[in-house]
Amino acid sequence: MPILVREVFSIDPESMKEAKEKMREFRGMAKKLNHPMPKVMTDLVSTHYTLVMETEFPDMATFEKSISSAFDTPEWKQWYPEFRALMTGGHREIFSIVD
What is the identity of the amino acid at 96? S
Strand blocks (E) in the chain: 3-11, 39-42, 50-57, 87-96
Give the bridge partners for 94, in sequence order: 5
- As a whole number, the mean pLDDT across the chain is 94
Domain spanning 3-96, CATH architecture: 2-Layer Sandwich (3.30)
Q: What pTM value is reported for the model? A: 0.89
Taken in order 64, 79, 24, 72, the sign of the CA dihedral is negative
CB 7 within 8 A of CB 92: yes
Condensed to tens digits (0 to 9), the pLDDT of residues 74-92 reads 999 999 999 999 999 999 9
So what's the pLDDT on residue 8? 97
| Mean pLDDT, rounded, for 38-65 | 92
